[in-house]
Amino acid sequence: MLTTTLCAALSAAGLALAFLTAYRRRFLRATRIAAAALLPVGLALAGLVTLARRISTAVGDWAADLVFKPTVWTGFVVLGCSAALYGVSRLFAGRGRGRAPEARTAGPAGVAGTPKAQELSGGRGASAGGGKRGSRDSGLSDFADVEEILKRRGI
């Protein structure tokens, strides 16, 4: 109730200022002042002032709990552990992709020139030795061209 009264008084003062500005024939500025003056009463009638007060009180209470309660700190530690475990699982899940089924079950690859070793290295074995142009990985083809030019120049 007090909040609505305060907002109405603030809006009334703003509208009075807008009328004085309009009296001086500055209509564009008066319109902008009137628009700004109607905001407090509109926010109060819509209940948004009360909502903002409740949100700020809740955030303040949470911040006080963060400082004074060790259980809140423990909650952040648990959240950090959860994020770390998820990240580690994503890291190791990406390592198994791109391998053939027999390569996943078999141990480490044999000789570097075998097809199984080329599968595990992403098919870069043939392109490093200057093999066929079509066998290169599409993401590394630009770098391989630059590498070729640098080798020709002796750099």
Judge whether 86 lies within some domain: no
Residue with tokens 């141990």: 107
Q: Helix and strand tally (H, E) in the chain?
A: 8, 0
Judge whether 84 lies within some domain: no
Confidence bin at 72 (pLDDT 50/70/90): confident
Q: How many domains does the chain have?
A: 2
Judge whether 81 lies within some domain: no
Q: Which of 7-11, 99-103, 145-149 has the lowest mean pLDDT?
A: 99-103
Q: Rounded to the nearest 5 degrees, what angle is found at the Cα of 128, between the Cα atoms of 123 and 132? A: 70
Residue with tokens 């009075």: 16
Q: Compute and round to an integer the Cα radius of gyration of the chain.
A: 34
Domain of 17 in residue numbering reads as 2-68
Residues 19 and 64 in one domain: yes
pTM listed for this prediction:
0.44
> Mind listing the pLDDT tens digit for each residue in 111-141?
555 555 455 455 554 445 555 555 555 566 7
How many Å apart are CA 155 and CA 147, to the nearest integer?
9
pLDDT of res. 137 = 55
Q: Rounded to the nearest 5 degrees, what angle is found at the Cα of 26, between the Cα atoms of 22 and 28? A: 100
Higher pLDDT, 16 or 65: 16
Q: Rounded to the nearest 5 degrees, what angle is found at the Cα of 148, between the Cα atoms of 145 and 152? A: 145
